[in-house]
């Protein structure tokens, strides 16, 4: 029996001489791994190999057996054709970072259609975003993603009067006016910027944030620390250094 589902390609690994093992975040089944045989044979018109690159948005017909860890794809087609995401170095580097962050956060193969829709919209927006909004998009995505896993940062009320020092406690995931009794926090301007970014209702607002490369690096480093504190075995982000270079 086959099923129709949308999918976002997270990672593709060569297998043997002609095949691929493809990790896909599907709308129906959550994260799944598929073996695609013979797809790397001599390229021909209509080859599916090009569709299986990271960040591709696909319509898929798949076989699914809950007892198996490796599934099969019967057929797939483009769901959406990007205009810039695959060809623009900056956008592609940001997308690759987002894919790794998503992959590290998805620990169980459980359906999460709300998360899928958020990610689908995010990649489509990144593809067409202005340069200023795109540069800040990794920050926005990093702050929005935890809400789908239950460890989102709690926004504070407006009780801070501007004279108090603000701290973001990365261990507790909230804003406080007293320095935490541990090392996992950011403070002052970095905490305030995080609060403002959390209040952004739509990525179109990202262009309003005029951040330099050092601020972006500082914030993204803190947000990765936040993930590592809340997701077991999160590890190091392999795409982080590339993103640093690109955004620098």
Residues 137-164 pLDDT 10s: 999 999 999 999 999 999 876 656 566 7
User: Residue 147 and residue 140: Cα distance in Å, rounded?
Assistant: 12
Verify that 163 and 233 share a domain, yes or no: yes
Contact between residue 145 and residue 223 where contact means Cβ atoms under 8 Å apart:
no
**CATH number (domain holding residue 8):** 2.40.50.140
Residue 42 confidence (pLDDT) above 60: no
Domain boundary among 81, 107, 137: 81
Write the pLDDT tens digit of every residue in 61-97: 999 998 888 999 999 999 999 999 999 999 999 999 9
pLDDT in tens, 103-112: 999 988 999 9
Q: What is d(CA 138, CA 197) in angstroms, rounded to the nearest whole number?
A: 11
Domain range for 119: 82-248
Q: Are residues 194 and 104 in the same domain?
A: yes
Residue 31, C-beta contacts closer than 8 angstroms, at least 6 positions apart: 10, 23, 24, 25, 103, 106, 108, 109
Which tokens in the block code for residue 190? 């970095």
Last residue of a domain, one of 50, 81, 112: 81
Q: What is the pLDDT of residue 46?
A: 57
Per-residue pLDDT, 162: 60
Q: Residue 210: which residues within 8 A CB-CB, separation 6 or more?
A: 132
44 has pLDDT over 60: no
Examine the domain organization and report whether 39 and 92 are in the same domain: no
Kindly indicate the confidence band of residue 45, based on its pLDDT and cuts at 50, 70 and 90: low
Mean pLDDT of 47-56: 89
**Quick one: 47 and 156 in the same domain?**
no
């Amino acid at each position: 029996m086959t099923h129709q589902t949308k999918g976002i390609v997270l990672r593709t690994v060569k297998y043997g001489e002609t095949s691929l093992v493809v990790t896909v975040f599907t709308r129906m089944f959550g994260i799944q791994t598929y073996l695609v045989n013979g797809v790397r044979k001599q390229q021909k018109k209509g080859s599916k190999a090009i569709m299986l690159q990271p960040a591709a948005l696909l319509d898929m017909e798949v076989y699914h057996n809950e007892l198996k860890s490796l599934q099969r794809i019967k057929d797939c087609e483009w769901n959406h054709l990007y205009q810039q995401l695959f060809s623009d170095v900056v956008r592609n580097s940001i997308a690759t970072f987002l894919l790794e962050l998503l992959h590290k956060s998805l620990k169980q193969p459980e359906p999460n259609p709300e998360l899928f829709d958020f990610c689908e919209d995010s990649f489509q927006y990144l593809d067409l975003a202005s340069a200023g909004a795109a540069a800040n998009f990794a920050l926005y995505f990093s702050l929005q993603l935890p809400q789908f896993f239950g460890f989102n940062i709690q926004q504070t009320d407006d009780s801070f009067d501007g004279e108090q020092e603000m701290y973001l406690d990365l261990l507790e995931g909230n804003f406080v006016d007293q320095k935490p009794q541990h090392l996992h926090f950011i403070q002052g301007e970095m905490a305030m910027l995080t609060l403002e970014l959390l209040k952004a209702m739509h990525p179109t607002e990202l262009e309003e944030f005029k951040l330099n490369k050092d601020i972006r690096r500082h914030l993204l480093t803190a947000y990765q620390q936040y993930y590592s504190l809340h997701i077991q075995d999160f590890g190091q982000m392999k795409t982080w250094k590339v993103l640093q270079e690109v955004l620098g």
